[in-house]
Structure 1
Amino acid sequence: MFSLNNKKAVITGGGSGIGRAIATLFAKQGAEVHILDLSIESAQEALADIQKAGGKVFSYACNVTNQKEVLATFEKIGNIDILVNNAGIANVGKVDTTSETDFDRVMEVNVKGVYNCLFAAIPQLRLSNGGVIVNMCSIAAWVGLPDRFAYSTAKGAVMAMTLSVAKDYMGENIRCNSISPARVHTPFVDGFISKNYPGKEAEMFEKLSQSQPIGRMGKPDEIASLALFLCSDEAGFITGCDYPIDGGFIKLNN
């Protein structure tokens, strides 16, 4: 079950964290994986590890906010079967403490970046007579995280785009779903804590871990396993859905 043999998958932000876990698992399950990342160093590190494990993988430096760059990269890759829109950034701030610059930056990556990749991917999915899209959303779209105004706003847009794409392309055999993780322990999280809470790293890590009722952060491999299911033929009856993977955050955090 859950084989991706003869499938070609594009994963944005695939050089680290959740994206890297997805790229690694998809390659293990037989997919030809194409990693897009802003950092070519990260992408090549992921590529080397996947190749060492026997996977078929390619990497590209690509800024998802630049539509010409995204289109050129997708045209180079050619027909695809799977797109995972994983690239994203975070920002701390309420509406009155979020600068216009920070707001625009989050929208550029987390909303326009997803749009650019969808725009570029649809023609390549048509060449394969359909396929699957998974957008990385967030529990922020469900609950509006405190002090994360721009991020919550952007992820709400991603959830809406997921529904729109699912409806618009259902007749072309293109499925589209999204995944909404709670906090997941990645190098991104470690860097985020170090940057925003200097000197209080251990305290903040524990606080963020305990904010999930299950008592810990998620693991990248756990998110990757859900992405694998949604992109597999076994999930062929699923489209237009968002899947919280949150350690009980939405339903049990009373």
Structure 2
Amino acid sequence: MTGSEVPPSFRLAYVPGVTPTKWVRIWNERLPGVPLTLIAVSPAEAPDVLRGGGADAGFVRLPIDRTDLSAIPLYTEATVVVVPKDHIVATADEVSAEELAEELVLHPLDDTLDWERLPGRPANERPATTADAVELVAAGVGVLLVPQSLARLHHRKDLTYRPVSDAPESRIALSWPEDETTELVEEFIGIVRGRTVNSSRGRPTPPQPKSKRAEKRADKPAAKGGAKGGARQKPAAGRSTGKSPRNGSGGSGGAKGGKRAKPGRRS
């Protein structure tokens, strides 16, 4: 089988916290003949998966190394602090980083938040993953600051979370190898950006038959001509139906009628 005979497909990578369900559904509706495969990746490995051809495009958390990669920022997530339900933070609607100064703040190795300075007291060791850090919070060892979607992803009945007003936010972007901006990549970009199938970059729809457009164009001059013709024809119509002598004695109709009667007066 040659390259041109390979059936088309699309591989989409995504990092934890991103839910691509809506976009996948639209893809399947618009391109039912092109299967889309989802590939779960960690934030750290996502750029290398794209560069290595392991996926055609992917949802990543910024910042990333943009070398050889294009990226379109899509949305921003608030940062929250994950705490046990009986923690004092759980009594507030929102907290600041300063209010966490005395807390042991866990900082997992897969954290992508762009901190200038992590609040609170640092732990002796950094958990390998966010999932590991959540387990430590549940065990009563420290608190954890993460994007809100990750707090939801790792939800536990014994934990809760509250927004942190002055923490850095997390940005989600769609990324792909810049030298591989294929038609399918463009198609997915359009879906994510909300383009409809009728948009300039969406999938084309059948053009309107020329005969209908020609009829519409033909109707306009006919209407204008009819209006002008009516203005010229109304007096003539009045003359043709003016059986009473009074109708022929006045106005332009009368003048024309007099000219036709002159031969009679000469006789």
TM-score range, shorter chain: under 0.3
Q: Which has the larger radius of gyration?
A: 2
| Length-normalised TM-score, structure 1 | 0.28
